[in-house]
Structure 1
């Protein structure tokens, strides 16, 4: 038994006072003279015995009465467990990822969890809770209720490690408290690591009863073929279970139906369906599937803008067939100039400039190349065998001078697969291949190397969108033109010179998007749809604006790129489909964690563990009983 006010127990010492009063005779007796005291002696003897018994009984009841009163004021209680005695702090993680949209016909897992949570929380306490997207610390129940009922679903679930780190940081403020972390989630297979708990935190994992649902998902779409009159749109869909009936897929541009077809989906298999569309420009494309499972993956947004070719300017006195075979229509619009006949207007509006083995570099050309690069153009420098004139242009682009000419054969043996230019270009990282070679080359101090010789000196280096070769690429000096590397290297440089609009982008990945428009330096573009007007991070160049989506939260949908209410283009964004993988972790085998099948079960067991049985009322009742006994003894016991 424990007491809320144990200091009051010192009052039990005062029980010696009635003992003193009862044990010592303080009453003075008056003498009376009798002629015959024989009968009186007998009466006194009997009276004395009964008087002692009465006083002893009254003493006991009075002591018990006072003891019960003192104990009642000390507020005794019996805890259900040691946890009930400790000061505790509880932090709740509520998974609001898209997979929590699953459930039955009445409600989703998420809504059921929220409603039950609000039912068991009380108005007297303050609570701390966080989701994948927001934090609600130290909130009263009315405030928390408003917040929870307006939580939106998100596409990214934070990792289990992030949940642990958030909890550990939160509990640092309460070093002496009992720490409880409550995790409410469906626990998809990608969330649980091998190390599930921390030493100083009690983990309570709630995995609500999961109903098996049929979920069909629109996974992706791509253009297979495009002509001036039509295009072929391929759509990839999948399902987590076999569907008995074919389901309908529709393609829209805004509210205009472009096509409709059906597809039969099997368990965990992707299927493709093809639409032949007469529209080659689609501003607000939307693909819809008729499905009663998760809602977020029933629509896929896309758009097809008029993509101009990437503008390429080649300056060369030699033949450049190896370049024109790569930079050809419709992806590229290529202009070729000799060093003495350069159209600087074309140069300044180019996205990619290739300087191929030009011996004489007048200051005007160097200055214009620098200006074009500052305005966002990519530059490729291919020096001649004799590159004595290249010191100034190298320095202007941030490279050091060539340190030494090497008139000996060198093999190009090393590929930097992690460089942004070649990242995800090759399926396998191959070390042994038919190495290209050069007969004469230049030494360059180590830089941001992409391709290197066997002595680790750079063959191709990059600095601020300027790509520098350290050897001439003509057939007399090198066989690099015949190497399998030439196409991916030059093609990737061309693609990065101007980032053409994709069919759609992912909302959870940072994308850099070029919009071909010439605006004033102080002008900005907006991403606009019927519900949102966002100003993204952007860089204004002379002939384009580069938009970055890394610092904004975008919802799936179609957006207009606008400036002063003028539509400059269209962009589409879609959620990742990772949450459509409805496979879950069996958390019952996790050690050092308390497992529950529902929020109700957690609160039931938690309340039972922290239950306190108060006893003060019983002691008040006993005190009244002893008071009544004392009164009866005084009145009726002779």
Structure 2
């Protein structure tokens, strides 16, 4: 038994006072003489015996009465467990990832968890809470309840190591004898929860919020498979976590305008693909939709198809060959050709790609202009002549080493770096055995990021900061590379990379580098706007384009307008990744060192029971009244 005010127990020493009063019999008796002494003797003896018993019983009842009163004021209690006697700090992790949208159709498991938290948070207790993307520390319970109702789902995912580190850092600032860490989640596989969570300083409580078996259909991706001047093919891929699915209706819209609608049936591998033939024109606010009662976030896929911008190509050539013009032709490219002695340098400043084709002598003015154009965002493609002495300054300025050795023997081009960003996704198959092109005269390059290599592993085509360098002339007398099947995809990709075309959509919460072909003033910036937000991404202004970087930008899925200086420059679309659509949860029943609860209500019920104390002061007040009544009865009726 414990006491809330144990200092009052010193009052028990006052019980000695009635003992002294009764033991010393302080009351004085007066003698009276009577005639029949013999008779009176007998009566006096009997009266004295009865009086002694009565006084003894009254003494006991008074001592018990005072004892009960003193104990009642000391407020005794019996704790339900050791936790009830300890200072407790509770930290709650509430998973607000998209997988928590799963539910029974009327409410999601996330909404149920929030509702139960609102019902169980006690104003007298101390709580803190954090989610995947926010912290709610140093709040009163009333403030915490208000903020709980405003928490939304996020595409940010939390790993258990991050969650644990955040909890440990929090408890460092709040020392308490009992540290309760409550994790409310569906415990998706991506959480990476370990099998053993034994911790002497931290009490783990896992609240496993699940919605049973949920069938979820997801819009995974969309892409354009082929185009022509009149039409384009929009392919859409879907997935499901259940093999027995009914046909799903897929709708494609541009704003409120319906572009197409069709149904698709899932295959045995729970995958499906559908194709829409659309007119080859701009789609500014594209939206692909399905109806599904599983997760909501993956039922919509935003996209946009922009008007194609021609890549501006400037070719400086002394070679008597037009193969570059045949590759860089309309409508994808807008090409102009100059001889080395007749260059319009103003065109270099506005070009996206500058090609230097076997120019024998580079003037210093041309070298400086090429270096400046490259630093302003233009891509450079250099095909050297056999006389490379004047190339040293330009190569060093672009990040290449100088040509180290001239090779006059035949060399085969045998190695393709398929994983290089220039060629990534260009080839469907990685062919190892093909008709190798060759060169007769070439040069070695000491340090280079190679795209194509010779058989001796020396680079044939190298890349450095959007500058591309061949290590051999490509004229017909020196090489048959122009007849190789590699020439078109390599040169075509270099041209397309010079002006990054906007994709159908980008992922939120990731770093995307997007080129906007616009010329802005020095202090002007581009905005990403929609009816709900106005964001300013990181951006770098070049002479003929602006490069946007969406890293660390709080984007939500949707269509955004690119604008600046009261002008509109197109649209961009963003979507959440689909990792949450899998709905695979861990089996946490085998995790050691934790308490597992089926609901938030169950956790709080057990926590309240463990911290409960049984107050006993009322019982001692009742006993005091009983002893008072006994004393009154003794005084009145006992003779």
Question: Under a length normalisation based on structure 2, what TM-score does the superposition of the two structures give?
Answer: 0.88
2:589 corresponds in structure 1 to 588
Whether 1:288 aligns to 2:322 is no
Q: For residue 129 of structure 1, report the CA deviation from its aligned partner.
A: 1.2
Whether 1:74 aligns to 2:70 is no
- CA separation of 1:256 and 1:432: change in aligned 2, threshold 3 A: closer
Q: Distance in 1 between matches of 2:248 and 2:418?
A: 42
Question: Which deviations, in whole Å up to 9, do the C-alpha atoms of 1:483-502 show, x marking residues without a partner?
Answer: 99877766554444321111
Q: For residue 399 of structure 1, report the CA deviation from its aligned partner.
A: 5.6
2:528 corresponds in structure 1 to 527
Q: Distance in 1 between matches of 2:510 and 2:351?
A: 28
1:171 corresponds in structure 2 to 171
Q: Distance in 2 between matches of 1:76 and 1:252?
A: 72
Moved more, 201-210 or 379-388: 379-388
2:142 corresponds in structure 1 to 142
Tell me if structure 2 keeps the 8 A contact 1:209–1:598: no
2:236 corresponds in structure 1 to 235
Unaligned runs of 5+ in 2: none
Tell me if structure 2 keeps the 8 A contact 1:126–1:138: no
2:5 corresponds in structure 1 to 5
Moved more, 211-220 or 88-97: 211-220
2:443 corresponds in structure 1 to 441
SS at match of 1:236: strand
SS at match of 2:511: coil
Tell me if structure 2 keeps the 8 A contact 1:525–1:535: yes
Q: Distance in 2 between matches of 1:157 and 1:461?
A: 38
- CA separation of 1:96 and 1:338: change in aligned 2, threshold 3 A: same
Q: For residue 615 of structure 1, report the CA deviation from its aligned partner.
A: 1.0
Q: Distance in 1 between matches of 2:378 and 2:542?
A: 9
Q: For residue 569 of structure 1, report the CA deviation from its aligned partner.
A: 0.9
1:505 corresponds in structure 2 to 506
Q: Distance in 2 between matches of 1:68 and 1:626?
A: 9
2:222 corresponds in structure 1 to 221
1:107 corresponds in structure 2 to 107
SS at match of 1:280: coil
Tell me if structure 1 keeps the 8 A contact 2:442–2:471: no
- CA separation of 1:242 and 1:393: change in aligned 2, threshold 3 A: closer
1:516 corresponds in structure 2 to 517
Tell me if structure 2 keeps the 8 A contact 1:406–1:443: no
- CA separation of 1:70 and 1:485: change in aligned 2, threshold 3 A: farther
Q: For residue 324 of structure 1, report the CA deviation from its aligned partner.
A: 6.0
Whether 1:607 aligns to 2:613 is no
Moved more, 458-467 or 5-14: 458-467
Whether 1:52 aligns to 2:61 is no
Question: Which deviations, in whole Å up to 9, do the C-alpha atoms of 1:372-424 show, x marking residues without a partner?
Answer: 1232112344555554333433444456666x546598999999888765777
Q: Distance in 1 between matches of 2:344 and 2:606?
A: 81
Whether 1:87 aligns to 2:87 is yes
2:624 corresponds in structure 1 to 623
Tell me if structure 1 keeps the 8 A contact 2:437–2:480: no
Question: Under a length normalisation based on structure 1, what TM-score does the superposition of the two structures give?
Answer: 0.88
Q: Distance in 2 between matches of 1:456 and 1:48?
A: 126
What is the 5 A alignment of 1:455-494?
Answer: 463-467=464-468, 493-494=494-495
Q: For residue 114 of structure 1, report the CA deviation from its aligned partner.
A: 1.0
Tell me if structure 2 keeps the 8 A contact 1:441–1:472: no
1:206 corresponds in structure 2 to 207
What is the 5 A alignment of 1:27-66?
Answer: 27-30=27-30, 38-66=38-66
Q: For residue 365 of structure 1, report the CA deviation from its aligned partner.
A: 0.7
1:578 corresponds in structure 2 to 579
SS at match of 1:543: coil
Question: Which deviations, in whole Å up to 9, do the C-alpha atoms of 1:344-364 show, x marking residues without a partner?
Answer: 233221112233443422121
Moved more, 423-432 or 255-264: 423-432
- CA separation of 1:386 and 1:61: change in aligned 2, threshold 3 A: farther
- CA separation of 1:45 and 1:384: change in aligned 2, threshold 3 A: farther
SS at match of 1:84: helix
SS at match of 2:138: strand
2:161 corresponds in structure 1 to 161
- CA separation of 1:625 and 1:415: change in aligned 2, threshold 3 A: farther
2:250 corresponds in structure 1 to 249
- CA separation of 1:400 and 1:26: change in aligned 2, threshold 3 A: farther
Q: For residue 458 of structure 1, report the CA deviation from its aligned partner.
A: 7.5
SS at match of 1:301: strand
